Structure 1
Amino acid sequence: MAAKRISQSNINWSALSERVPTHQKSSFLAFKSRSDKYLRAVLANPEQSPKIDWAAYKSKIPNAALVESFQKAYESLKVPYPADTLSAEVDKLRGEMISEIATFKKESEARIVNYKAETDRIKGLLPYAQMTMEDFRDAHPELALDPLNKPTFWPHEPELQPDACKEEKAHH
């Protein structure tokens, strides 16, 4: 089985170029240049190797039996072309990657919806410079001071509170 002749690159270089980060453009262009150079080298050679004119050799070489033995050896030579054993595995991995990408896209779209809702909520808040302590507590109940339910000491930093030592020992 002979290998299929490559006539042009199957890579969509412009679409690939759009996805390459700016700081990697030079590496990408070097890779594309090497790929194009290889393709040109392949296309520079003929698709079929030239035929040998055995009759001309037989007429010029006194020992025709020697030429015939070379001809038989040349014609019996079969260069084994490796069997394609990995395409099925690559296709399987490609299918898995496509499903992982689809799952990631769905999860990302859900995160985007949540982030947009959070962004809209934050845009609807008063500017922090205009907020009172009560407005801040309403906007961020987990961050606000709560002197009744969670009293703290000045400067109200978590690591400076009396409970911080107990919590740190519990984690270790």
Structure 2
Amino acid sequence: MASRRVTQSAINWAAIAERVPANQKTSFGSFKAKSDTYIRAVLANPENPPKIDWAHYKRIIPLPGLVDNFQKQYEAIQIPYPKDNLGGQIESQIKETKTEIEAFKKGSETRIVDYQKKISHLSSLLPYGQMTMEDYRDAFPESALDPINRPTFWPHNPEEQLDYQSKEQEGAGH
């Protein structure tokens, strides 16, 4: 991979700013300021190091071979561009996250359909203020009082019934 000069920020800061929660705006602003400062510092320096006039130094330095030795060492220096060791891991995480997002979207769509069915069912019912006990029993048979098939004792809440077990008792297996 050849090194390249970054001439401007490739980050769409406006798009990111839209997604930043209100309580993190100051942190985001600080992060953006640090990034801008870094980009300005990079752009303040030239892309390539200044050229050295080796002939000038050979003329003014009397020691033979000293400038030639420095020139050889200077030109032998190669600063490698960092290798991308984590790109593959990042790409796999991105793919994994995208599949999780798609699975969540599909699950959300099914939940939305279920909730819409529940809403339409509730919308089709009489208002609670106009319901009789029979209307409530017909609309919600699992939670309505049924003294014939499921008799209960007053005050008809689960804690007062004969077969009631607390969460601690259920967890202990009693």
Interval containing the TM-score (normalised by the shorter chain): 0.7 to 0.9
CA change 1:60–1:20 in 2 (3 A) is: same
Q: How many residues of Structure 1 are paired with residues of Structure 2 in the alignment? A: 172
In structure 1, the partner of 2:110 is 110
> C-alpha distance in 2, partners of 1:123/1:36?
55
In structure 1, the partner of 2:10 is 10
In structure 2, the partner of 1:143 is 143
> Which stretches in structure 1 are left out of the alignment for 5+ residues?
none
In structure 2, the partner of 1:152 is 152
CA change 1:2–1:116 in 2 (3 A) is: same
Q: List aligned pairs for 1:81-120, cutoff 5 A.
A: 81-120=81-120
> C-alpha distance in 1, partners of 2:141/2:21?
40
Q: List aligned pairs for 1:1-172, cutoff 5 A.
A: 2-165=2-165, 169-172=169-172
> C-alpha distance in 2, partners of 1:81/1:21?
36
> Which stretches in structure 2 are left out of the alignment for 5+ residues?
none
> C-alpha distance in 1, partners of 2:167/2:31?
54
CA change 1:113–1:74 in 2 (3 A) is: same
The one-letter amino acid of 2:132's match is: T
The one-letter amino acid of 1:137's match is: R
Give % identity: 55
Task: Please tell me the root mean square deviation across aligned C-alpha atoms, in Å.
Answer: 2.2
Residue 158 of structure 1 and its aligned partner are, at CA, apart by: 1.0
Question: Please, what TM-score do these two structures have when normalized by structure 2?
Answer: 0.85
